[in-house]
Amino acid sequence: MYDDDTRKRRRLTKAVLLAAVPLAAAAALAGPLTGMFSGGPADGGPGGGRGRGASPAPAAPGTPAATGPGPSTSARSGAAPLAGKVVVIDPGHNPGNFQHTAEINETVDVGTHRKECDTTGTSTNAGYTEAAFTLDVSRRLRVVLQGKGATVEFTHDADRPFGPCVDERARIGNAAGGGEGADAVVSVHADGSAAGNRGHHVILPALVKAGAADTAPIVGPSRTLGERIQAAFARATGSAPANYLGGGTGLDVRDDLGGLNLSTVPKVFVECGNMRDPDDAALLADATWRQKAAQGIADGISTYLLG
């Protein structure tokens, strides 16, 4: 028989032991669960803005990068050199433009003159369209930039029937990042020149001051952005600068593009190759090469933003 004090001590000991059992079980489970979610593939999905959570598996070769918000492992671990930077990616044209020719033929003011809202873009002889190419490369580019910690916004993601028009594309970059404007805007394209004309080039804004256009504040930084992208693109893809313009520099200055004329933030166009040349077309149609193209553009943007 126990006295009252002894019984109280026994009941207290039993209560402590019973409480410890679920705590121990939870601790045992925590280890495996942490292991399940601490790793993951290097590439996250290409959803707009910064991602959170585990990354999905990389997309199969020949397909656009899988959708979803996950950043790279390096971004999750804190190695995010572009954190706080806002990049707008402008996929040239839109797959839906082919069904909306009347709408995209309407003209808009680009500062120096009026110009078509948009065009269908070009294609390879085999029918691979520029609109499909630019969307694929842009999605891959988004994945790489998000892996570096950047906030990425698109002018469109084939989520609208056509367009946007060139003036709206400029306004999207100007208003990005909550209205402060993007740190850099890159419009992704492929050229439609004559066969035999090969290579890549980057289009830079000319000095334009007319109507709603005033590129004076962005000419200098846009040139720096373009030079960084051209050099990185050449390294990543092994592609030579265009042999038909730019004097072998891979750079071309134009004053007739509304997307550049109306931009108030640093912006360039990247013409990744010539779809009408069979050798360039073979590269542009290759998923492995398109990944290199995206990496090269991302590397150029990164070196520009990091100074």
Selection from 296, 212, 209, 206 nearest residue 257 by Cα? 206
d(CA 15, CA 9): 10
Rounded Cα distance between 54 and 36, Å, is 10
153 flagged as catalytic:
no
Catalytic residue among 130, 153, 227, 271: 271
Q: If we measure between CA atoms, which residue out of 160, 158, 153 comes closest to residue 178?
A: 153
Instruction: Report the distance separating Cα 289 and Cα 36, nearest Å.
Output: 32
Quickly list H helices, the chain.
Answer: 4-37, 73-76, 101-105, 130-147, 166-175, 216-237, 258-261, 278-284, 287-306
Integer CA distances (angstroms), 129 to 83, 100, 142, 190, 301, in order: 34, 16, 20, 9, 25
Half-sphere exposure of 140 (CA within 13 A, CB side): 25
CA 61, 62, 67, 73 dihedral sign is: positive
Give me the residues paired with residue 134 across strands: none
Q: Which residues are catalytic?
A: 271
